[in-house]
Amino acid sequence: MNRETVSAPSNIALIKYMGKADAVSNLPTNPSLSYSLKHLRSFVSIEKTKQDIDTVNSFTGEIQVELSEKAVKRYLKAFAKLKSVFALEDNYVIRTGNNFPSDSGLASSASSFAALCLASFKLACEEKSKKEALSALALSEDSNEAGLMEALSELSRKFSGSSCRSFFKDWSVWQNTGAKAIDISFKDLKYIAVVVSQRQKKVSSSVAHLEVLTSDLFTGRPERAKARCDKLLQAFEARDWQQAFEIVWAEFWDMHALFETSKVTFGYMEPGSLKVLRYIKQYWDENKDGPICTMDAGPNVHLLFRADQDKVFTEIKDKLSQSFLLLGD
């Protein structure tokens, strides 16, 4: 990895972005709230080339990523847009990779598009000037870091919705068009991804966003998600971790119920997912404590622990590592 490489973290949503009000610019039907996974990152470097086209390669070495033809096309389309925003006229080689296994079934589009936007901004600063790069984002030279991240986040959202939450340290909230950092007193959480299956998912999240609109249960979904987002913020404010667990638990089941009740039914839940979920629920019932638990559009289970939950973390990690591949802390 050369020193020109930039990186962005993945993020896990506790209130989900599921269902688009506008599929062209990825406007969500409801607010979402996520935690940035600082250890799970995508890396991007961009270098000028004499070739007459832009290309995407994966890094050689430890951070590799399997790039499907479709993924490469999507990435190059995003880069073409970024080049036009920053008025970059040359051709470039993009190198990209993740520090988590690309076949682990964990979403990497959020971190990879966020890293591409950050790397393109950096490139524009070098090739043009910082002033010009900022002005392309309608920002002035004295704009602060938060303003810059919000502008890049808005750009990235159009490439992949969830990537707009990957520009902020710790917590981020995305409402309507804009994502921004939000201060929540639970910090330095520990994270475990329980990898139930490494198979490529049959229905991508982009397709899931369209399909869920056909479910009868989608009626009231934007309102339910918004109400949960408000309640979750209140629970965090009150430092009520158990209440937060319950809200997040209901939220991912709500999303999975939408999948299972779409007109063309699909789903991601596997026997292993249920096994992990039952274990976590039982742990909470027995200990009146445990991790926040969620699932994305996939079979893997995501767990977040408070920084002071050392015993809970060790017990759950020891138990789950007997049957599953675990990633994260």
Site membership for ligand DP6, residue 13 (CB under 6 A): yes
**Which is nearer to ligand DP6, 88 or 181 (by Cβ)?**
181
**Which is nearer to ligand DP6, 276 or 312 (by Cβ)?**
276
List all residues 6 or more positions away from 8 whose beta carbon is below 8 Å from its beta carbon: 41, 42, 111, 112, 114, 115, 118, 163, 166, 167
- Tokens encoding 322: 């007997």
On whether the CB atoms of residues 244 and 15 are closer than 8 A, the answer is no
Pick the piece of the chain touching ligand DP6 (CB under 6 A) from 79-87, 154-162, 216-224, 302-310: 154-162
Site membership for ligand DP6, residue 104 (CB under 6 A): no
Pick the piece of the chain touching ligand DP6 (CB under 6 A) from 16-24, 138-146, 281-289, 319-327: 16-24
List all residues 6 or more positions away from 276 whose beta carbon is below 8 Å from its beta carbon: 194, 196, 301, 320, 324
Partners of residue 227 on adjacent β-strands: none
Site membership for ligand DP6, residue 162 (CB under 6 A): yes
CB of 107 to ligand DP6, least distance (A): 6
Separation CA 150–CA 121 (nearest Å): 13
Site membership for ligand DP6, residue 18 (CB under 6 A): yes
CB of 61 to ligand DP6, least distance (A): 27
Separation CA 121–CA 125 (nearest Å): 6
Site membership for ligand DP6, residue 258 (CB under 6 A): no
Pick the piece of the chain touching ligand DP6 (CB under 6 A) from 11-19, 41-49, 133-141, 191-199: 11-19
CB of 174 to ligand DP6, least distance (A): 8
Alpha helices by DSSP H, listed for 101-220, are 109-127, 130-136, 145-157, 205-211
Site membership for ligand DP6, residue 109 (CB under 6 A): yes
CB of 302 to ligand DP6, least distance (A): 10
On whether the CB atoms of residues 163 and 113 are closer than 8 A, the answer is yes
In this structure, the strands spanning 27-28 and 190-195 are unpaired
Which amino acid belongs to residue 128?
A: K
- Tokens encoding 179: 């994502």
Which amino acid belongs to residue 90?
A: D
Near ligand DP6 by CB under 6 A: residue from 45, 205, 273, 294: 205
CB of 297 to ligand DP6, least distance (A): 4
Looking up tokens 């991508």 gives 204
**Which is nearer to ligand DP6, 115 or 312 (by Cβ)?**
115
Site membership for ligand DP6, residue 149 (CB under 6 A): no
Site membership for ligand DP6, residue 16 (CB under 6 A): yes
- Tokens encoding 24: 């062209």
Pick the piece of the chain touching ligand DP6 (CB under 6 A) from 84-92, 181-189, 205-213, 235-243: 205-213
Q: Report the 10 Å Cβ neighbour count for 139.
A: 17
Catalog residues that contact ligand DP6 under the rule CB under 6 A: 13, 16-18, 26, 32, 107, 109, 160-162, 205-206, 209, 296-297
